Structure 1
């Protein structure tokens, strides 16, 4: 399988590498079995992830991962070695809901919390968000739950911390 669209542009700088993650595709979801995330090298076989994952669970922007480099020069994630404390949350607006298919409306609803993120594509307005470790986790969770209950979106917490679980 190929990597999911869009292919994120390479960040500026020599120390950036694409780190690939392999996973089993979920039934009824996107058919991809890998995702490439940009990272800044922090050691010969480690990188700090620089963007939020759309598909890979258990990793967040800012985490440090160890990678193995294959014979073709591709860097494959082996393990997370240093969590950042950030969380990854994915939000998909309900097409028939009050926000329609608008990824921008999702961003607008969550903008007061200062969350950074990306949108998968106009065809699939999946929004992947980084929730910083020092964010107002109870208020973010309450907003996500309210939005889901009111039919704005579906969401999943793809990488969370103990603080998120306790909020």
Structure 2
């Protein structure tokens, strides 16, 4: 028996947090490729490791549906050390919107022009590549969702772009 001032028992070796807590890891998502779309069936997203099997997504997905920047996901690690997403633990309140400029439209293939249209809303995002100027945007839950939706619809009507919303919230649905 330990003396009363010995403090709490040390955790078992397996109970210690992994040494990478707080560091970026790549979490991979598997999905079925869409016909007529990019020919990928996985996407790796940077994430901040929170525990032995959870991480917070740190960038916006181009391909994976149903997840947004800031979401907490659970993962398993395979024998090769690859972290595979197994599900969402906590929603972020953010939405993911993908915008593809129409090549022969008023914006051409200019991803920067897409970013400029959304700059007044403070939206951040990434561009897939110079050859394929798909812009993936993170839309925070506190943004002016109604105005963003109106701009997206206007852009389609004026031939600027095509868009899809790949991760939605209840706030987005009612805006």
Normalised by the length of structure 2, the TM-score is: 0.87
2:113 pairs with 105, 108, 111, which one?
105
2:140 pairs with 132, 135, 139, which one?
132
Is 1:67 aligned with 2:75? yes
1:48 pairs with 46, 52, 56, which one?
56
1:55-83 per-position Cα deviation (integer Å, ceiling 9, x unaligned): 00000000000001000000000000100
2:123 maps to which residue? 115
Q: Which has the larger radius of gyration?
A: 2
Instruction: Give the 4+ runs in structure 1 shifted more than 2 A.
Output: none
Distance 1:41 1:133 in 2: 23
Cα RMSD after superposing both structures: 0.9
1:81 maps to which residue? 89
2:157 maps to which residue? 149
Q: State the aligned residue count.
A: 155
2:170 pairs with 146, 162, 165, which one?
162
Q: Residue 54 of structure 1: SS of its match in structure 2?
A: coil
Q: Residue 78 of structure 1: SS of its match in structure 2?
A: strand
1:62-106 per-position Cα deviation (integer Å, ceiling 9, x unaligned): 000000100000000000010000000000000011000000000
Structure 2 residue runs without a partner (length 5+): 1-19
Distance 2:124 2:23 in 1: 22
Normalised by the length of structure 1, the TM-score is: 0.91
Distance 1:99 1:75 in 2: 38
1:24 maps to which residue? 32
